[in-house]
Amino acid sequence: MASEYTTSEYIKHHLTNATMCSTDNGIAFNKACADAGFWTWHVDTLAFSIGLGVLFLALFKSVASKATTGVPGKMQAFVELVVDFVDDNVKSTFHGRNALIAPLALTIFVWVLLMNLMDLVPVDLIPWIAGLVGSNVFGMDPHDVYIKAVPTTDINLTFALAAGVFVLIIYYSIKMKGITGFAKELTMQPFGHPLFIPVNFILETVTLLARPLSLALRLFGNLYASELIFILIATIGYFQLPLHFMWAVFHILVLPLQAFIFMMLTIVYLSLACEDH
């Protein structure tokens, strides 16, 4: 914890995204974007998430294009382990053939896991580097350089993932059951009487919308909270060392678990969308 901050300033600084927007005077950053409204971009979230996504895809692609059917190398064995793990989960949950579900699950699992793992990077490291770069290269006040390294603590990202899944849920519901089938599912359940159509519609719509909402908020909530605790631990001086260690060890479990839950629920929701009741 840098000493020139008060604790609340420190926490606030760590929880603020680097933002970018275009104003009348051209592209502006951070505090200049306070009034920009919706058209503001969290450049740190975008950069880290896309960087990690590209890292994941580049790694897996390079293994995939060199993949041998004989004795695999260590890297290939590892990648195949991950792929096989995802494939097993998809096969045990999603019945039927679909070329999209498994790669989707793999992308979600590995990408979310990589983004979650950013949580284990010491909370001050990346902001400190960013502060140095910001003050030395761009001549900014280090206090004005914001950076949030864990993309999954950004609600925009978790909602984007959930929205992607939601679009697929709607798409597969309509594709597998037809528009009438989908409409029937929304209106004739759980009470199979025309009189109950409005009640059913409200209930089913809530059910439908609760899925992406819970996906997004679960991931965001868990990661935001754990990041917050990491930051809080970082404010208490030397005692942070054992505490930080314990919290980090705990997150070796939590971070993959959150990625796994997101993947599994995606598979389950899509499997529900594809099946007739």
Partner 1 sequence: MNFNATFIGQLIAFAVFVVFCMKYVWPPLMAAIEERQKKIADGLEASERAEKDLELAQAKATEQLKDAKAQAAEIIEQAKKRANQLVDEETQKGHAEREKIIASGYTEIEAERNRAKEDLRKQVAALAVAGAEQILQREIDANAQNDIVEKLVAEL
Residues in contact with partner 1 by the rule CB under 8 A? 17, 19, 36-42, 45-46, 49-50, 53, 56-57, 60-61, 63-65, 67-70, 72, 76, 79-80, 83-84, 87, 99-100, 102-104, 106-107, 111, 154-157, 159-161, 163-164, 224
Residues 6+ apart with CB under 8 A from 237: 1
Nearer to partner 1, 76 or 93 (CB): 76
Residues 6+ apart with CB under 8 A from 199: 191
**Cα distance between residue 228 and residue 60, in whole Å:** 32
Nearer to partner 1, 154 or 187 (CB): 154
Catalytic position from the list 17, 89, 200, 222:
222
Q: By three-state DSSP, how is residue 41 classified?
A: strand
First CA to last CA distance, the chain: 55
Catalytic position from the list 156, 218, 226, 271:
218
Is-catalytic flag, 97? no
> What is the CA angle 156-133-247, rounded to 5?
55
Min dist. Cβ of residue 244 to partner 1 (A)? 24
**Cα distance between residue 15 and residue 154, in whole Å:** 10
Is-catalytic flag, 222? yes
Nearer to partner 1, 41 or 269 (CB): 41
Nearer to partner 1, 98 or 189 (CB): 98
Catalytic position from the list 89, 214, 226, 271:
214
Min dist. Cβ of residue 187 to partner 1 (A)? 29
Does residue 266 contact residue 105 with C-beta atoms inside 8 Å? yes
* Chain centre distance of CA 222: 11
Min dist. Cβ of residue 241 to partner 1 (A)? 29
Min dist. Cβ of residue 173 to partner 1 (A)? 18
Q: Outline where 118-154 has alpha helix (H).
A: 125-137
Residues marked as catalytic: 214, 218, 222
